[in-house]
Structure 1
């Protein structure tokens, strides 16, 4: 099966009633979580436009002795903020910028949330895929809940570290677009390939597929990641991502086991 056939077959599988039913779960959960976060953060940003915290100190001389006086105040509607929020256009622009930035961050956070949620549905999706197309390929798997949680924490930590290490590049035009996406793509790629491979392959098979098909798999996950940046695409597309990558792993495992008949017999036994 070539890449074009895999893509069309994945779209067909995704369009089945059972897969569409699975797609509703991450959609509903993700939407609820993201709307709460988005409006909470954006609302706090708008509220901050009307207040300003001021701290200052003043030193005066009395009889040759210096006296320092600290002043700390919370100004409601300071001159600048009052000006911005008192005119319709500037008020609208300020609010618009906050919601645009909030929406931008929401898209990235939605990818993170959806990837975590889809991890719980991956085994069910792949079992359905096996029943439809790969009954000759046993799903062995090589993971458990503890290792999955450990790797999720590990990948999250690396992602956060990358965010900080790449900060200097965020101020370089064009390059900042690539730099800001590298950490999240790393997490997306690692979690998606782990969820799929750990449900189908043995650890040795997963390593073999990762070694010989490294560029092919990275190209696919990169394409899927770019699709996920389209607003709301990740909410429905997460199931499709698992199906598409699942076909790749099932086909590769079939090849590996066909070349090792003794291994296939041991697995069936």
Structure 2
């Protein structure tokens, strides 16, 4: 009867070491195969014509921005879907003065979704023989030789130089916009706000009457007083040359053809 042979501790450890080495070789080969497959998949995704951008779905662009938006994103069409620099395209779109906000994203159908938010015209400003259209944030985005008569006009020669697409920082313009807002609250249809170099303000009402408001201090009270005066005058408004509320506690008005102003009782 043969005696059983048992492995020594050194032999057991050596066998375990060989098993670990074999397992590690399998894992290494598997990992390398997966890496190669991943590289091939990425290369295919980045080079295959199947993943080319197929077109652009443009939303929100109007006459001012449509051509610019399409021209800006056109180079991305035909390029790789995964390599489209959406952030850079968005920044280029938002560099247009008339574009308030833009968004660029990839669509599942292979097209780019481009959404444009244009600036909304709020007021027109005359500066050095040019008319600038501004939005509510005081950003000029259109410059023209002719006034847009659908908008109230601000004539502020001392407003300072504008920069297209950037907020127009000017105390004169801020005062004029405040004046327009207060006039709208009082249902006064203002066609023009003029500010002289001294800072005194005058409003032209649509019916031809003017409101002399003086300096912009207490403009809320002045516009409120002017509205009450215009509503209480005993004569047609088209016969009034101006209403003076530069001192709101002592308003006055001047009829056309008269020699001077008449205090409001």
Q: Normalised by the size of structure 2, how large is the TM-score? A: 0.28
More relative contact order, 1 or 2 (CA 8 Å, 6+ apart): 1
Greater Cα radius of gyration, structure 1 or 2 = 2
Q: Which has more helix, going by share of residues?
A: 1
TM-score, structure 1 as length reference: 0.28
